[in-house]
Amino acid sequence: MLDPEYFLLFYVLAYILFCFFFIFTLKVRLSSLKFFTVTFVITVSAICGLRSQYVGTDTYTFYNLTRLMNTSGSFLWAKDYFYYSLTRLGCAIQGFQLSVLIPSVVTSVFLGWSLYRLVNISFKEVASRSYFMTRTVSLLLIFILMLSSSDFLMQIANQTRQIMGLAFFLFAFSFYLEKRIALFLVFSLIGYFSHHSLILLFLSLFVVHFVKKERTYFVILSICCLLSFSGLSGHILGGLGIGVSEDSIYSKALNSTLSLYVKTFITISLGFFVYYLNKKVPVENRGFESTLINIYMMLSSLSMLYISFAEASNRIQRYEGVIFPIIFVLLIRKLKVNALHIVLVILFSILYFSFMMNYYSTLKTLGFYSSQIKVI
């Protein structure tokens, strides 16, 4: 099992490996989407699935809950039935390690598979305008940015539940684009029962399906910002019954309030940035990226609306951190980017990745600096 030190080491090595794959593919023009997708799935599954009880501040708590569910024969208070079905299965077969490994494998498989499908759908809609941005290069760049922007993807149990739900949402979304509604509904339902906060993504998709004008989402964002800064958002959400109680973990900033506001500013700025990039794409070449941008802006609005509840806002932003690389890469391939542009993107990713690997809050959440984690 990987303790925090080895987990961090292997995660960094995985990031370096995919950077090497990217440079190699860019140089020799290799085309192997399936190989790199499978490699991504195996790598993420192994690193996140073999973590010890010391990795992640909630790992021990969630495993104890799983054991209690197996003992009592019920799901207790759980809403995320699919996720807990997997952890209970792993716990019943072997114990702790399989209860972590099985959800990690399922999440990695459907995340990799959904990205593979979305890249193929995008290229079927419109050919790349950049000589460098082939299907393989685009997919690898998404993997790299996702590994650097998503705080280890699945470092803690709650994050695994969220990313699992998002993986099924993206997989369902690929069928939504193909108008295969039955499969869309099936995988959407599985996603919802992986993490109930996925209802926010379905709400966003529902709005986006009927409201096509992009300016509308800037109006929604502006209104949410005004409500948050005026202090009315908490009262409105509470009055509607969709707020967060004061004693809930979601109502507190687990790290610092300043870092939450900085992160919120960055995620909203990135939303404006991809909106700007989309405007640079010729109208006839625009595809489902516009839909994802509108979903992203809806999530930014919801995140701003819930910012008075601190951690609730932070967890909405986890979805944005995974969706952004997809939008960004699939947009820039439709622009006339050159090798220098791609190098700058990779350098920025490396700088951000290096910062996150040394950020106190990230390391604390991962399991460093903690003397309160119990042994199973």
Q: Is the pLDDT assigned to residue 166 strictly greater than 70? A: yes
CA gap 157, 79 in Å, rounded: 15
Residue type at 157 in one-letter notation: A
Q: 306-339: per-residue pLDDT in tens?
A: 887 767 787 888 899 899 999 999 999 988 887 7
Q: Is the pLDDT assigned to residue 351 strictly greater than 90? A: no
Q: Which pLDDT belongs to residue 214? A: 85
Q: Which pLDDT belongs to residue 249? A: 46
Q: Which pLDDT belongs to residue 240? A: 58
Q: Is the pLDDT assigned to residue 297 strictly greater than 50? A: yes
Shared domain for 349 and 292, answered yes or no, is no
Shared domain for 295 and 260, answered yes or no, is yes
Residue type at 250 in one-letter notation: Y
Q: Which pLDDT belongs to residue 238? A: 66
**Crossing angle of helices 311-332/257-280, nearest 10°?**
20
CA gap 326, 112 in Å, rounded: 12
Shared domain for 320 and 362, answered yes or no, is no
Q: Which among 1, 295, 322, 15 has a CA at the least distance from the CA of 140?
A: 15
Q: 16-65: per-residue pLDDT in tens?
A: 999 999 888 877 766 788 999 999 999 999 998 888 888 877 777 788 88
- Confidence tier at 375 by pLDDT (50, 70, 90): very low
Shared domain for 82 and 152, answered yes or no, is yes
Shared domain for 202 and 109, answered yes or no, is no
- Confidence tier at 1 by pLDDT (50, 70, 90): confident
Shared domain for 13 and 146, answered yes or no, is yes
Task: Judge whether 104 and 55 are in contact, CB under 8 Å.
Answer: no
Shared domain for 305 and 360, answered yes or no, is no
What domain range is 12 assigned to? 1-194+338-376
Shared domain for 231 and 320, answered yes or no, is yes
Q: Which pLDDT belongs to residue 253? A: 46
pTM for the whole structure:
0.89
Shared domain for 284 and 163, answered yes or no, is no
Q: Is the pLDDT assigned to residue 274 strictly greater than 90? A: yes
Q: Which pLDDT belongs to residue 76? A: 59
- Neighbouring CB atoms inside 10 A of 149's CB total 19
CA gap 348, 345 in Å, rounded: 5
Q: Is the pLDDT assigned to residue 168 strictly greater than 50? A: yes
CA gap 168, 5 in Å, rounded: 30
Q: 85-126: per-residue pLDDT in tens?
A: 898 899 889 888 898 899 999 999 999 999 999 999 999 988
Shared domain for 151 and 90, answered yes or no, is yes
Shared domain for 188 and 298, answered yes or no, is no
281 or 368, which is more confident: 281
Task: Judge whether 55 and 4 are in contact, CB under 8 Å.
Answer: yes
What is the total count of domains within the chain?
A: 2
Q: Which pLDDT belongs to residue 371? A: 45
Q: 194-253: per-residue pLDDT in tens?
A: 988 898 899 999 999 999 888 899 999 999 889 888 877 776 776 655 555 455 544 444
Q: 128-143: per-residue pLDDT in tens?
A: 777 778 899 899 999 9
Q: Is the pLDDT assigned to residue 191 strictly greater than 70? A: yes
Shared domain for 224 and 342, answered yes or no, is no
